[in-house]
Structure 1
Amino acid sequence: MTLILGLLLDAVMGEPRWLWSRVPHPAVLMGRSVGWIDDHINHGANRRTKGTLAFALLCLVFVAFGLALAAIPGHIVDVIVLAVLLAQRSLVDHVRLVAVALRQSLPAGRTAVAQIVGRETRSLDEPGVARAAIESAAENLSDGVIAPAFWFAVGGLPGLLLYKITNTADSMIGYRTPKYEEFGWAAARFDDLLNLIPARLTALLIWATAPRRSALPAVMAEAPRHRSPNAGWPEAAMAQVLGIALSGPRTYDGQRRDYPFVNAEGRRMAGPADIDNACAVLWRTWALAVFAALILTLF
């Protein structure tokens, strides 16, 4: 029941600005801790060893903090921490803002989508902006909602905090660049491991909300085409549900990456209406996840 209450509280409250404008969000604190080890340890020789040990220490600290919180009697703390570290409401709000901005103008759409993606957005056309928003919606549904809920169900607050610090570290230092390929190796590999089940579970939940049940074999065939071993699953499911092509070429730091399309036969002329449909899929998937949590609670 704690998991269900956390999911519901996050959906209702989201991330209230009045609170997080006064105190730092826990995710911000996690980011600062990762930034600290990056600034102070990521230099010189043996970067893989240094990064692995520093990341392992961060994991131990946050698991210990989770154990301390879990020792508090009652379930109020569990519900609040879970709701704070879930991102369903904020994800939908941010993705929907891209559709609103894109209806105003292409430059406004580019500015809005730049808040939720890491690629360069200056040269994106309208379909490119829409596809970028939808890809972010699918990937962050897994990383920000289903995976945290899954690891809370498996390991309580320690499991939740272990996942969140790992995912935060991966998003900051888990890149294959000269600076981070060695130092962020452990964080990136552990994030892949922790997302192995949730990413596929997310794809299954997205598929289960769709009217076309025949899309599941296509999801399983298309997901491995993605550059990521995990993100491809929710993106492939979303692509099938909406009938559009996702992933594909994009630009990072001035360099074009010719990644293959997922569901290459789908429409590439996406627009604000497709973003709206993706937001509807996010809510239907969330509702199915709540229902699944209820069934697990009862049985």
Structure 2
Amino acid sequence: MTAGRAGRTVRPAALVLAVALDELLGEPPTRWHPVVAMGALLRRAERHVPAAPPGRALAAGGAAWSAGAVLSGASGVLLDRATARLPWPGAVLLQGTVLWTLLSGRLLRDEVAAVEEALAGSAAAGRHRVARLVSRDTAALDASQVRQAALGSLSENLCDSVVAPALAHAVGGLGAAAAYRFVNTADAMWGYRSPRFRHAGRVAARADDVANLVPARLSGLLLVGADPARLRRLPREAALTPSPNGGWPMAALALRLGVRLAKPGVYELHAVGREPGPADTRQALRLFRRATAATVLLLVVGGLLGRGRPGAAA
């Protein structure tokens, strides 16, 4: 294999390694976890970002967000440059290991499975466990609502934890993947319309909307399957949520399983569907793994074909 051709296969091979490491090992140690470091950076920045007045909060929040995004992306770019100086096996090992730390598919599946296990004991245990996954108040949820919350989080985070960082890496290497995870982390911490971040978190929220436009729709298509009726209904159901992106994978899972997924007072997806049961959680976890495998296949094949074109960048 020539040096140029070897270079063109590093990203696809690194993605395969990263997903394999995530499947086998789950999350990396906290002290080496870049997403944990991003969260710590955002918490420190909060001390210098006011909640009001609106103009000052927006400017300070936007500046802090921009600094974090640049720092995260630049760190990834430096690792990409280090990769380029290594022989093929070392390049794949370094890039795949770093990309692994930016994925969270295994953790998400384990958390959703733990919610189902807790529900087998009691609704109260399920409420306590699902609070680790969702931002909504879980105190009044019944067993069905707990399961719906877990399934909604599973589907929405297929995009955030697997599809979007993998797609960013395929397009722009570790720099783009790291920048995406910062964008997503900042939205999770600052993007809610609370009094504290109504203005200070606006840039974080809008940036996440833009970053997920394509990955969310791809996630929805991967989950909904090839049934023409479901495909026709997907855009209409997705539009029922306040988020421009989150509704796509959530509606896709609801349609695929034939269940109703609702957040009281906010949205109701596939309203004519039945209440989800334990078997639906098991099926949803299988669909998540299949969608992950399909993402890898699409990006590996697309990467190899794209880099094989005359004039394609090495």
TM-score (norm 1): 0.91
CA–CA distance in structure 2, aligned partners of residues 259 and 178 of structure 1: 19
CA–CA distance in structure 2, aligned partners of residues 175 and 248 of structure 1: 16
Identify which of 27, 46, 62 aligns with 1:38: 46
- Greater shift, 33-42 or 91-100, is seen at 33-42
User: Does the C-alpha gap of structure 1 residues 214 and 180 become closer, same or farther in structure 2, counting only changes over 3 Å?
Assistant: same
Aligned to 1:54: 64
2:252 paired with 1:244? no
1:172 Cα deviation from its structure 2 partner:
0.6
Aligned to 2:8: none
Unpaired runs of 5+ residues, structure 2, are: 1-12, 86-90, 306-314
Identify which of 156, 177, 184 aligns with 1:139: 156
1:43 Cα deviation from its structure 2 partner:
4.7
CA–CA distance in structure 1, aligned partners of residues 241 and 18 of structure 2: 31
Would you say the 8 A contact 1:195–1:230 is kept in 2?
A: yes
1:234 Cα deviation from its structure 2 partner:
0.2
Q: Secondary structure at the match of 1:197?
A: helix
2:285 paired with 1:279? yes
Instruction: Give RMSD over aligned pairs.
Output: 1.5
Task: Please show how residues 56-75 of structure 1 align to structure 2 within 5 Å.
Answer: 56-72=66-82, 73=85, 74-75=91-92
TM-score (norm 2): 0.87
Would you say the 8 A contact 1:3–1:79 is kept in 2?
A: yes
CA–CA distance in structure 2, aligned partners of residues 142 and 44 of structure 1: 32
Would you say the 8 A contact 1:223–1:233 is kept in 2?
A: yes
1:26 Cα deviation from its structure 2 partner:
1.6
Supply the AA of the counterpart residue of 1:36.
R
Identify which of 278, 299, 303 aligns with 1:293: 299
What is the count of residue pairs matched by the alignment? 284
Would you say the 8 A contact 1:117–1:136 is kept in 2?
A: yes
Aligned to 1:259: 266
Would you say the 8 A contact 1:138–1:235 is kept in 2?
A: yes
Supply the AA of the counterpart residue of 2:48.
H
Would you say the 8 A contact 2:52–2:199 is kept in 1?
A: no
Q: Secondary structure at the match of 1:200?
A: helix
Task: Please show how residues 1-299 of structure 1 align to structure 2 within 5 Å.
Answer: 1-15=13-27, 19-20=29-30, 23-45=31-53, 46-72=56-82, 73=85, 74-208=91-225, 212-249=227-264, 258-267=265-274, 269-299=275-305
Supply the AA of the counterpart residue of 1:287.
A
Supply the AA of the counterpart residue of 1:40.
H
CA–CA distance in structure 1, aligned partners of residues 48 and 253 of structure 2: 40
CA–CA distance in structure 2, aligned partners of residues 164 and 105 of structure 1: 35
Would you say the 8 A contact 1:126–1:271 is kept in 2?
A: no
CA–CA distance in structure 1, aligned partners of residues 51 and 252 of structure 2: 40
Would you say the 8 A contact 1:207–1:213 is kept in 2?
A: no
CA–CA distance in structure 1, aligned partners of residues 25 and 215 of structure 2: 24
Larger Rg: 2
Q: Secondary structure at the match of 1:41?
A: coil
CA–CA distance in structure 2, aligned partners of residues 58 and 298 of structure 1: 32
Aligned to 2:5: none
CA–CA distance in structure 2, aligned partners of residues 39 and 169 of structure 1: 15
CA–CA distance in structure 1, aligned partners of residues 176 and 32 of structure 2: 22
1:260 Cα deviation from its structure 2 partner:
2.7
CA–CA distance in structure 2, aligned partners of residues 270 and 44 of structure 1: 43
CA–CA distance in structure 2, aligned partners of residues 94 and 237 of structure 1: 20
Q: Deviations over 1:259-294 (max 9, x none)?
A: 231111111x22222211111111111121122123
Q: Secondary structure at the match of 1:247?
A: strand
Q: Secondary structure at the match of 1:142?
A: helix
1:227 Cα deviation from its structure 2 partner:
1.5
Q: Deviations over 1:142-189 (max 9, x none)?
A: 111101111111111110111011111111111112211111111110
Identity of aligned residues (%): 39
Q: Deviations over 1:175-224 (max 9, x none)?
A: 1122111111111101100000000000011123x6x4431111111100
Supply the AA of the counterpart residue of 2:38.
M
Supply the AA of the counterpart residue of 1:266.
G
